[in-house]
Amino acid sequence: MKITFLGTGTSQGIPVIGCKHGVCLSKDYKDKRLRSSVMIEWNTYTFIIDCGPDFRQQMITNNVLDIDGILFTHFHADHTAGLDDIRPFSQKNGYVPVFAEKSVVENLEERYNYIFTSENKYWGAPSVEINIISNKPFLLGNKEVIPIEVKHGKLDIFGFRFDNFAYITDANFISDEEKEKLQNLDILVINALRIDPHPTHFNLESALDLIKELQPKKAYLTHISHKLGFHEEVSKYLPDNVFLAYDELILNY
């Protein structure tokens, strides 16, 4: 399986518009972060988790020629606002399968009525195939995917486990029951927004505590804001099996 980090930034990305913080002014390419998303490939399959406002740029940068579908963790704009840009894939295949919890689909139907409507649909609008998922395993291609229900403030959202790889973003709490799904991982990707505590995201300390508890072989931090610090500096203080993810990082396992 091949995992490509399409974006590793928080909702505003890095650099933030108009920001004079040192990280936003950094020349290190690892400090420049698009909105969070990953691409997962195995055999002939290619799936994207989340489709934020940088989706078009991410597809072009990574030379993505086709996808088999998009999984949504939740409905916030930094994870969904690129939906219109699926048009080339929709035109190529007739539609793009999307996999999301019912409330996410309802939110997208409201915000992107012209995509989901079947009446007098504009000819250039993309088409989607809706697949409602719940907190139960489901199949993508020939692989079982296990949803992980986590808390994002008061909002219940999903992470996903593929084999011994798990991807979780925007979490600030995971129940003991859901943590059982995160045992014996080769790779855990988890959000770590900043140094200071945050009401809806793990900060660095809480993310590291969770990693220590779950004991994956390796862990990668994502959904990072400029307030976490410089990539090079933060990396010096991380445990040996923990790494800061960065845009265009590729993992093969």
Is the pLDDT at 184 greater than 90? The verdict is yes
- Element holding 32 (H helix, E strand): none
> Is residue 246 classed as helix, strand or coil in its secondary structure?
coil
- The model's confidence at residue 253, banded by pLDDT at 50, 70 and 90, is confident
Tally of domains within the chain: 1
What CATH number is attached to the domain comprising 144? 3.60.15.10
What span, in angstroms and rounded, lies between the C-alpha atoms of 137 and 164? 14
User: Taking residues 241-247, what's their average pLDDT?
Assistant: 98
User: Taking residues 160-168, what's their average pLDDT?
Assistant: 98
What span, in angstroms and rounded, lies between the C-alpha atoms of 80 and 10? 13
User: Taking residues 182-211, what's their average pLDDT?
Assistant: 98
pLDDT of residue 123: 80
Q: What are phi and psi of 20, to 5 degrees?
A: -110, 10
pLDDT of residue 121: 79
**Which long-range contacts link 14-21 to residues 24+ away (Cβ below 8 Å)?**
14/224, 14/225, 14/226, 15/226, 16/226, 19/226, 21/226, 21/227
Q: Regarding predicted confidence, which is higher, 116 or 65?
A: 65
Q: Which domain holds residue 37?
A: 2-252
Is the pLDDT at 175 greater than 80? The verdict is yes
> Is residue 104 classed as helix, strand or coil in its secondary structure?
helix
User: Taking residues 47-75, what's their average pLDDT?
Assistant: 98
pLDDT of residue 117: 81
Query: Furthest-apart CA pair in the chain: how many Å?
Result: 57
State which amino acid sits at residue 198.
H
- The model's confidence at residue 98, banded by pLDDT at 50, 70 and 90, is very high
The C-alpha angle with vertex 180 and arms to 102 and 141, in degrees rounded to 5, equals 50
